[in-house]
Amino acid sequence: MRTAKEVFGKYSKAEFFLKCNLSFKFFAENCLSITSDGKEIKLPSFQEKWVRLAEANRYLVLEAPTGFAKTEIMGAMYPLWLLFKNRNLRILLVSKRLDQAKGNMLERLKIYVRENEVLKQMLVPDDRDVTWNKEEIRTKNGHWVKVVPYSDSIRGYRADIIICDEVDSYEETNTFFEHVTSRLFEGGQIICTSTPVGPTRLIAVLKLMDKSGELKGWVFERTQGLVKQDGSKAYKIAPENVTYDMLKECKSLWPEAYSTKTILDKWPIQGKWNFMKNNMAEVIGDAEDAIFPVKYVMKAFDRTLDFSGEVDEKAEYFIGADFAISDGPKADYDVFTVLEKKASRYYVRHVEIYKGVDIPFKVERLVTLFNKYNETEYGCTLTVDESNFGKEIERQILAEGVPVNPQNFHSAARKKLLTTMSQILKSGAIVIPRNPNPQYKSNMDCIEYTKQLREQLSGFVRVKSDKTGAETMQSTAPHDDVAISLALALTEAVTHDVDVDGGPLQA
């Protein structure tokens, strides 16, 4: 452990504390004595910039290459600096898994304290056996720091500052908006750090929402491993057009840690897509396995429209019904989606979502919906998931005199459903309401619906069998019911040869 005398060095206690309070760089280099292989090193300017941005902005996203000390600086040293110069802060440290948060953030913070007499005297209370454990600490000067996994369990806590480590590793982006952002005290701060993973993950979603004006106050900073010789950005062209030869003219941003050669040697090993992601914090285009790129989902959102219970006499309607397979907290929902086809476009007009309802209720709701939307010039088509007890629902609906279009979910049929929806989505023909102040509500307003839809669509990936080479489409999201309900309605809609405007329809 470094003694107080060693920590203060040539400075008086008062001067030392003042300099630490005013400068993170001074605090890191002198109080924490950052080292590499036993040698003291200087804080790189790009890491200083991260902290300056954190001081100046409430909502910050930092993207940086793998191994550039994002977690060390922003997950351990920065919060420790806040503990040093403030009082009574509540800080949440969030990681994909609890053990990751313990090892990467809180435990690193505690190591700095244990090895420093000044910090130990300032922060560690007499009852540390009770107030310091693997998941949280309470300090002498009133701070509370807690590590939590990225899940809905975060709902039990509130904080002044939330620091999310490697946010692009979080599969469920909806958890961030629903549970993480709601945990802030008034005036609180969120800091997200990560090496980007892909265009369907959280950072890409945040950027698209920010660009569309749906978010306010977010700041995005990208740090790249290679820069030009004068320190400027390595390239000004689209990342997909960057070549290895272009980067050969660059230098390492952090030569103390990685030589230029060390970084460039990763290109032939990782391939261009992974190299740009891991070393330049840049995602090229769409992920190779993405079925529904987020940018197309976001383009489909119309923020001037709400769900509407009105029926257009000149439109044709399609209802897709996906049924929950089982009961229980993790079971899917029953989702009924009404799609309106008009002028070669497909509008999501109505959605109903249920959990734990019995078969007679499902039959009654679908019959009611069909009768409502069938009273038009072009009528309505009801498509239902016939797997499991879907056949019984189909039988009872037919008994009510309502025609049903059954859809099975064998591998080939499922692939066709998802492929069709992907093609229509990319064509720009589908319109999804996204009005932030909807006037009409069914079981769930359009904001909640579209959050779930975006989450579920981004979870679909292509997976190739190692044995057969056959490609399947799988969902990595917890649920897929909202997306499948839409796919059922949409796939049936595109099979109708002529649109209501008289023009041919192309799938």
The pLDDT tens digits of the residues spanning 455-507 come to: 788 778 777 766 777 777 887 677 889 999 999 999 999 987 544 444 434 43
173/298 same-domain check: no
The amino acid at residue 404 is V
Name which of 4-13, 270-279, 319-328, 377-386 the model is least confident about.
319-328
Where is the domain boundary, 213, 247, 280?
280
Residue 504 lies in a domain: no
Q: Is 475 part of any domain?
A: yes
Separation of CA 190 from chain center: 14
At 320, which helix (H) or strand (E)? strand 316-322
Residue type, 187: G
Domains contained in the chain, number: 3
- Out of 252, 280, 308, pick the residue that ends a domain: 280
Q: Are residues 127 and 231 in the same domain?
A: no
Q: Between 263 and 199, where is the model more confident?
A: 263
How would you class 327 by CB atoms within 10 Å of its CB: exposed for 0-12, middle for 13-18, buried for 19 or more? exposed
In a domain, 35, yes or no: no
Smallest Cα–Cα separation from 458: which of 168, 182, 64, 194? 168
Whether 500 is in a domain gets the answer no
198/276 Cα distance (integer angstroms): 11
Q: Give, in order, the Cα–Cα distances in Å from 359 to each of 27, 282, 396, 452.
A: 65, 49, 9, 24
Please tell me whether residues 207 and 270 are part of one structural domain: no
Interacting residues of 55 by C-beta distance below 8 A, sequence separation 6+ = none
Q: Dump pLDDT digits (tens) for 140-189.
A: 999 999 999 998 889 889 999 999 999 998 877 878 988 999 999 999 99
CATH of the domain at 458: 3.30.420.240
pLDDT the model gives residue 97: 73
Tell me, yes or no, whether 214 and 313 share the same domain: no
Least confident of 133-137, 158-162, 293-297, 345-349: 293-297
Q: Determine the Cα–Cα distance for residues 192 and 197; give it in Å rounded to an integer.
A: 14
With cut-offs at 50, 70 and 90, classify the pLDDT of residue 36.
Answer: low
Are both 86 and 187 inside the same structural domain?
Answer: yes
Asked whether residue 234 falls in the same domain as residue 106, the answer is: no
Structural domain boundaries, residue 306: 294-493
Answer whether residue 201 is part of any domain.
yes
Task: Check whether 441 has a pLDDT greater than 60.
Answer: no
In this predicted structure, the answer to whether residue 440 has a pLDDT above a threshold of 60 is: no
Alpha helices (H) in 69-186, listed in sequence order = 70, 78-85, 98-101, 107-114, 117-123, 128-131, 173-175
- Same domain (yes/no): 480, 376: yes
Residue 255 CA to residue 278 CA, distance in Å, equals 17
Q: What is the DSSP letter of 429?
A: -
**Pairwise pLDDT comparison (19 vs 240), residue with the higher score:** 19
Q: C-alpha angle 397/400/405, rounded to 5°?
A: 40
The pLDDT, as a whole number, for residue 442 is 47
479-488 in b/e form (b: 16+ CB < 10 A) is bbbbbbbbbb
Please check whether residues 175 and 262 belong to one and the same domain.
Answer: no
In a domain, residue 155? The reply is: yes
- The contacts of residue 349 (CB under 8 Å, 6+ apart) are 307, 308, 317, 338, 339, 340
Q: What are phi and psi of 36, to 5 degrees?
A: -140, 120
